Structure 1
Amino acid sequence: MTNKVNISTDHGADVNAVSEAVARRLKRERQAQKISLDELSRRSGVSKGMVVEIEKCTANPSIATLCKIAAALGLSVADVVNVADTPAAHIIKIQDMPTLWTGPLGGTARLLAGTSGPNMIELWRWELYPGEAFTSPGHPMGTTELLHVEAGTLHFTVGEIDLVVAKGCAAMAKTDAPHAYSNHGKSKLVFTMSVTELHRPAREL
């Protein structure tokens, strides 16, 4: 199964508007930082062809790909999809919350809110139908996830650790290792998740 970004219009941001925002923001930031396509590809580990297609708004990148490119530019995913904002307190309306993944059976992952990068916090809401799963190759060092299950049972695998998180329970994990969320039950799984990514400043010589 591929974890492609599938920006949905169901109770969230318009698919075309979000795709265009992603393309526009990445290109603007890359040019502002005077980073070539080749250099961004090298820093992010994403092929130059994919970077070009994203900037042209013709690609369907995975969430992991967006994370890599955003990090290479010192941004968060929330920055890229226009969920982050600068005021100290502000409201994010439901139509501005993009669905960044849609599963084969209708499951979704929505980015509810997030702060600007590179140090960032994101708030997600996931729904997985029976048999659905999402896998991640792992985030940068210093990434922590907190999860709370609202309905169903979450099977959460992080590296060699397997956790079964029941309704009403929560979990915490360092997610710089490969990890996966899956629904092995017979009813819909719903959980909220925060992602915190902290980058330590380089030591001064």
Structure 2
Amino acid sequence: MSDLDQLTQSLARNLKRWRGERGYTLDALAARSGVSRGMIIQIEQARTNPSVGTTVKLADALGISITTLLDYEQGPQVRVVPAEQAVRMWSTDAGSRAILLVGTEKRGPLELWSWRLMPGEGSSSDAHPPGTVEMLQVTAGVLTLDVDGEAHSVPAGSSATFESGVPHAYRNEGTEPVEMTLAVSVPPPH
């Protein structure tokens, strides 16, 4: 079974499980997430591999991290995630990529990501739940961080933090790859 097949099966199993634990019907989850009922059915039946944006919307609507939605495991206090088990969420032929390194549900979902954006590429995100905070550090290149329509330049060696309850995007408008580490903290569901 390929990595993509394993990811699709894990997402199907976990989405169905978490939807059931929350007591959400297909229609209720569709309304909360903005993802169509038909798409949710396809995901739960492992007949499609949804976009990162769709997966994030579903995780947000369920009040869990994307890590938990993709691979739910109860473990010991220390959990080491080998490099080969980090989840590549998206990539392009040019070499851009986002890898979910590790996450936890303690005190609200918290995720740690490794990103690479090749020149001319970017990634946009819808608003996350109110109170969500992102922190990043750029280790190579110059990141253009767009938060609610306002662009900010974040050069290598610099860090940034922002509340991501608004539309936001990461772009590489330079000539060299952008490398960054990103942490996302989502408030626990009420």
Same fold at TM > 0.5? yes
The structure in which a higher percent of residues are helix is 2
* 2:14 is the counterpart of 1:25: yes
* Counterpart residue number, 1:157: 146
Change (3 A) 1:37 1:135: same
- Using the aligned pairs only, state the percent identity: 36
Q: Distance in 2 between matches of 1:114 and 1:149?
A: 20
Deviations, residues 55-98 of structure 1 (Å, cap 9, x unaligned): 12122322222122123223210101117643211101112111
Greater Cα offset, 146-155 or 75-84:
75-84
Q: Residues 75 and 118 of structure 1 are in contact (CA less than 8 Å); yes or no, is this contact kept in structure 2?
A: no
Partner residue, 2:80:
91
Q: Pick closer, same or farther for the CA change 1:120–1:34 going to 2, 3 Å.
A: closer
Within-5 A mapping of 1:1-150: 14-82=3-71, 85-116=74-105, 119-150=108-139
The 2-side partners of 1:33 and 1:200 are apart by: 11
**1:59–1:117 CA distance, 2 compared to 1 (3 A):** farther
Q: In structure 2, do the counterparts of structure 1 residues 193 and 86 end up closer, same or farther at CA, with 3 Å as the change threshold?
A: same
Deviation at 1:197, TM superposition (A): 0.9
Q: 1:195 Cα shift?
A: 0.4
Total equivalences in the alignment:
189
Structure 1 Cα separation of the partners of residues 95 and 46 of structure 2:
24
CA, structure 1 residues 181+63, in 2 after alignment: closer, same or farther (shift >3 Å)? same
Q: Does 1:184 align with 2:173?
A: yes
Q: 5+ residue gaps in structure 2?
A: none
TM-score normalised by structure 2 residue count: 0.91
Which runs of no fewer than 5 residues in structure 1 stay unpaired? 1-8
Q: Provide closer, same or farther for how the CA distance between residues 157 and 57 of structure 1 changes in structure 2, counting only shifts above 3 A.
A: same
Aligned residue number for residue 172 of structure 1: 161
User: Structure 1 residues 179-188 or 100-109, which shifts more?
Assistant: 100-109
CA RMSD of aligned residues (A): 1.9
Within 2, Cα distance between the matches of 1:117 and 1:35?
23
SS at match of 2:18: helix
The residue aligned with 1:4 is: none
